[in-house]
Amino acid sequence: MPLGWTDLAGRSVGIWGLGVEGRAALRRLAADGAEPTVIVDRDLPDDLGAPDGGAPRLAEQPDGLEALAACDVVIASPGISRHGAGVRRLEAEGVPVVGGLGLWMAETDPDRVIAVTGTKGKSTTALVLGHLLAGLGDRVEVGGNVGRCPFDPDEAGTDTRWVIEVSSYQATSIDAGPGTVVVTSLAPDHLPWHGGRIETYYADKLALATRPRVARVIANGDSELLRSRPELADATFVGLGDETDADAGWLDALGLLGEHNRRNALLARSAVHVVMGSVDPSALAAAAAGFEPPEARLTPVARTGEVVFVDDGLSTNVLPALAAAESFPDRAVALIVGGQDRGVDYEPLGLGLADRDDVLVVVVASETGPRMAAACARAGVPHRRVADLVEAVAVGAEHVGRRGAVVLSPAAPSFDRYRDYRHRSEVFAAAVVAHTGG
């Protein structure tokens, strides 16, 4: 049987990692009248932001793993790879390594949970779904990878429906599924965490759809890869072909750019129908009003005449970068790319843009820059290599001229040059302001 939070009473518990979920786990243990036996982390912050019961704090190697191996159960943060040597050692010694989300899911009514996963589009889909359900009168919270932990005692009560965004990291630690799973997309990503193998990433990402208690799976029907996966053999597939003229009103009311986001909204609508039954498009339009698109996901930051500057900084692989270019089919596009190297294959970036003679790929100096530029060169895609985002904005604006889109959609994480994606987006926005004069 999968472990739940109530099963931890009387056991020695190790906390491995003090990110958002690790700190929420500390608060949950305190609320349950328990305390961790040991806390293990890389950075060992002085202020945990939660009571720790005096548990010793240790670095990961070597004393930290020794202390974790002496625990009955270890709660690992999502950033700790289940394919890493540390987790393999603990499990070989008989120590269960669990995740806070999985502990919560095991004890939660599955009909009160809709999980949204996928390589890209899961945050937008989860937020649209939560917004629509709330607008239709449901009591709903959105959490998981989007930032709120449903097991945190500071969050909502048990009578709330949760829409949970689930990353591939989190999916591997969920043994009892939710009632409904939504799958938005699939493409290579996060390969180092998943042991460097694409197939391992795919299997980990889709594991949620195969868990006990899952009653229904809704998946992106426009993805041939998803349609081919055995994990989704019983899924209901939803694609752009399912949009009708009557849907235009509520889809437009969401204010999302790009066909991929319309598809994400259609996936959300299918999940709404699971909860509410068939909902009239006019009711959906009323529920869609006031939706605020998530930051750094095809978010316009400035306009000058018919030129728009767009922040899609949360694009961390090829799939969303190509979707960003496709979001402006009738405009010249300058696609700004480059970032931390996680081993993703960039040949599809060049091949995916080979038919667009109005797209210039602006490659910022970065870890992935040389491989991205080489992929574009092999595919015959126009590209320019630049030193930084300031130069990228200027080169992009020159390319699009009087009508077009300059889009930061880096197809890679930010951590080679920036603190995080928000920092990169701030630098991009500042470069746009400097170029446009405000």
Nearest by Cα to 397 from 327, 306, 316, 312:
306
Cis bond upstream, residue 188 (ω within 30): no
Q: Alpha-carbon distance 353 to 361, whole Å? A: 9
Angle at 110 between CA 90 and CA 292, to 5 degrees: 95
pLDDT, position 56: 81
The stretches in the chain having pLDDT less than 70 are 43-54, 147, 156-158
Give 122-170 as a DSSP string.
Answer: HHHHHHHHHHHHHHTT--EEEEETTS--TTSTTS--TTSEEEEE--HHH
User: What separation in angstroms does the CA of 148 have from each of 10, 176, 413?
Assistant: 27, 20, 22
pLDDT of residue 50: 44
Beta bridge partners, 216, equal 180
Burial category of 79 from C-beta neighbours within 10 Å (exposed 0-12, middle 13-18, buried 19 and up): middle
pLDDT tens for residues 206-262?
999 999 999 999 999 999 999 999 999 999 999 999 999 999 999 999 999 999 999
Is the separation of the CB atoms in 309 and 406 below 8 Å? yes
What is the model's pTM? Answer: 0.87
Q: What is the pLDDT of residue 149?
A: 93
Maximal CA-CA distance, the chain? 68
Provide CB contacts within 8 A for 237, sequence distance 6+.
218, 219, 220, 221, 226, 227
Going 425 to 429 to 434 to 436, the CA torsion angle's sign is positive
Domains and CATH numbers, the chain: 5-98 (3.40.50.720), 106-288 (3.40.1190.10), 299-436 (3.90.190.20)
Q: Which two tokens stand for residue 115?
A: 């999980």
Q: In the prediction, which pLDDT does 43 show?
A: 63
In terms of DSSP bridges, do strands 306-311 and 299-304 run parallel, antiparallel, or are they unpaired? Answer: antiparallel
Place of tokens 């750019």: 257
Nearest Cα neighbor of 118 from 199, 220, 214, 210 is 220
Reduced 3-state DSSP string for 362-402:
EEECCCCHHHHHHHHHHHCCCEEEECCHHHHHHHHHHHHCC
Return the percentage of the chain with pLDDT > 70, whole number.
Answer: 96
pLDDT at 49 (0 to 100): 45
Spatial contact of 83 and 193, defined as CB atoms under 8 Å apart: yes
Which residues 6+ apart lie within 8 Å of 127 measured at CB?
142, 146, 291, 294
Q: How far apart are CA 16 and CA 84, in angstroms?
A: 13
Q: Provide the 8-state DSSP code for 298.
A: S
Residue 396: which of 412, 408, 380, 381 has the closest Cα?
408
DSSP string, 196-247: T-HHHHHHHHHGGGGSTT--EEEEETT-HHHHH-GGGTTPEEE-GGG--GGG
